[in-house]
Structure 1
Amino acid sequence: MRRLEGRPYNRAMLTGRQIGFVGGGNMAEALLAGLLRKGLTGPERLTVSDPLVSRRELLGRNFGVAVTDDNQAAVRGAEIVVLCVEPQVLDDVLAELGPSLESHPLVISVAAGYPLSRIQDRLVGTTRLVRTMPNTPSAIGVGVTAMSLAAGLSAADRQAAEQLFESVGTVVVVEERLMDAVTGLSGSGPAYVFAMIEALADGGVLSGLPRGTAQQLAAHTVAGAARMVLEQGEHPAVLKDRVASPGGTTIVGLSRLEQGRLRATLMSAVEAATQRSQELGKAENHHL
């Protein structure tokens, strides 16, 4: 796999290209914000379709983009189409969009568990395809997106897709067979970390800290520890051992975590979520 981070932006990849978003939910909103914040395109080049009036009004008001309830209108003339809909409705959406994609734009899907081959079966003749799995921290520009590329995708299309998602964080390119594992780890992972932060804060409250102080300490502790892993490039076990002095408080706490099988439980959570993603991908009708 390849990890892409901190690369200078080549604005030519997206500048002047019409981008149509099908679905105006949270991920579409994050991408719109990222694209405009980075100056990679202008609102006049962006169109979003969504069935909900409230979402259309919000996106139009906040970003100045064109909005519509017509999926075909959103992609008509687009050079890049981003499918931001739930996997259980993507079959119907693709059937609807087919006649409007005669120009064969670059099609990017964020639907979990929905394979590239299934998109190709429903968009006959479309080969410019990318499958992605972003996660929720993309909403504040610090997400991580795994990306799988259709065979034969051009370098220009690959760079355009990478740049689009780099606007909301880091991009990792993986083989499509690994996308279910990505879903189980980074896709579902924020929820595991939120649960850990809640539990750490509860421990602080149990030990006498005010709730607000405990939550702030817990969240900053997790954020700081993650940043050390990313910036220092050392194995987490090495960093852990530096905190755990002989006979000290940390090693006692770590011993209790081992008794509670924290590491084994987290590994099992990723494995279970991965298996569920595989089941959804095989299902004829997707149900989340």
Structure 2
Amino acid sequence: MKMEKQQIGVIGAGNMAEALIHGMITSMRFSSQSILVSNRSNRDRLAYLSKKYKVKTTDKKSLVEQSDVIVLAMKPQDIFSVIEEIKVWMRPNQLCISIAAGIEMASLQKASGLELSIIRAMPNTSAKVLCSATAIAKGENVTEEQMELARKIFSCVGTVREVAEEQMDVVTGLSGSGPAYVYSFLEAMIDGGHHLGLSQKESTELVLQTLRGAIEMMTATGMKPSELSKQICSPNGTTVAGLAVLNQNHFKESVMEAIKAATLRSKELRKSIQS
């Protein structure tokens, strides 16, 4: 695999920043020496990243001036203060990738006062194990070469899907928050087995492999979930009895409402941060 030559500057040193750094290096697509990291004040965290991944830690001025790509990996409420601080060192058409949830590209462009090339990205926490479902949205000044570089960066931590920016709230509610919904479902299944006599360990192992198998079946066959579910059901059988309870309790509708609620909350948070 060809190693990329671009300098990647990461501002932020939290879990998502570390996941990206880990993915870029372990994929062998990016050298540790091509990655620069800075954050607001946590020097211990920077020292940890430098020691573990051999990346270069530096101040924001040097990072911005030396980087081809700046990854803004901080909380949404911090992003505008960071832009205000670094905009004096930024260059027109410099690629800026924001993973701050809910912050629109137009707002970042306005805050910088420059014609930046901006890409929004929404990875999820599974990036820590290189299994993120990441959506990216392209800004108006972004070249295809820059977009391809963003795809390469985020493909190091999972899959990448390009979407329109107006779809990012839905992405936040679906795949951004989605792991939490899955963990709630897993917890319910594990507790169900445990309460009926299995040990916690036995129930956990069976549930995890059941989920892996179901995902692999859908991936391998390309069939719809409803079609695969029908293959398990026999008239008046055990699966039909279990599904009847889920249907009575509006399981599908509840999940869909959860995604809708998270999407609406993403919109609300964006308005509160950008107002």
Q: TM-score, normalised by structure 1?
A: 0.91
Shift of 1:56: 1.0
Shift of 1:16: 1.6
Equivalence for 1:3:
none
- Aligned-residue sequence identity (percent) comes to 35
Map 1:18-29 → 2, pairs under 5 A: 18-29=7-18
Tell me whether 1:240 sits opposite 2:211 in the alignment: no
Map 1:191-270 → 2, pairs under 5 A: 191-270=180-259
Contact 1:88 1:285 survives alignment (8 Å)? no
Give distance in 1, aligned partners of 2:239 and 2:44.
49
| Residue type at the aligned position of 2:42 | L
Shift of 1:100: 1.4
Determine which of 36, 43, 56 is the counterpart of 2:32.
Answer: 43
Shift of 1:103: 5.7
Map 1:1-288 → 2, pairs under 5 A: 11=2, 15-50=4-39, 51-68=41-58, 70-102=59-91, 104-284=93-273
Shift of 1:27: 1.1
Give distance in 2, aligned partners of 1:187 and 1:89.
19
| Residue type at the aligned position of 1:59 | L
Contact 2:128 2:157 survives alignment (8 Å)? yes
| Residue type at the aligned position of 1:121 | K
Give distance in 2, aligned partners of 1:228 and 1:116.
38
Contact 1:21 1:75 survives alignment (8 Å)? no
> Unaligned 5+ residue runs, structure 2?
none
Contact 1:94 1:122 survives alignment (8 Å)? yes
| Residue type at the aligned position of 1:49 | S
> Unaligned 5+ residue runs, structure 1?
1-8
| Residue type at the aligned position of 1:65 | V
3-state DSSP of counterpart to 1:21: strand
Taking a change above 3 Å as real, the CA distance of residues 230 and 152 of structure 1, as seen in their structure-2 partners, is: farther
3-state DSSP of counterpart to 1:196: helix
| Residue type at the aligned position of 1:226 | I
* Alignment coverage as a number of residue pairs: 274
Shift of 1:216: 1.6
Give distance in 2, aligned partners of 1:96 and 1:41.
27
Return 110-119 or 215-224, whichever deviates more: 215-224
Contact 2:136 2:161 survives alignment (8 Å)? yes
Contact 2:77 2:273 survives alignment (8 Å)? no
Contact 2:92 2:115 survives alignment (8 Å)? no
| Residue type at the aligned position of 2:119 | V
Contact 2:115 2:141 survives alignment (8 Å)? no
Taking a change above 3 Å as real, the CA distance of residues 111 and 65 of structure 1, as seen in their structure-2 partners, is: same
Shift of 1:74: 2.4
Contact 2:74 2:100 survives alignment (8 Å)? yes
Q: TM-score, normalised by structure 2?
A: 0.95
Cα offsets for 1:168-223 (capped at 9, x unmatched): 11001001001000000000000010111111000001110000111121122122
3-state DSSP of counterpart to 2:175: helix
Shift of 1:231: 2.6
Give distance in 2, aligned partners of 1:23 and 1:72.
14
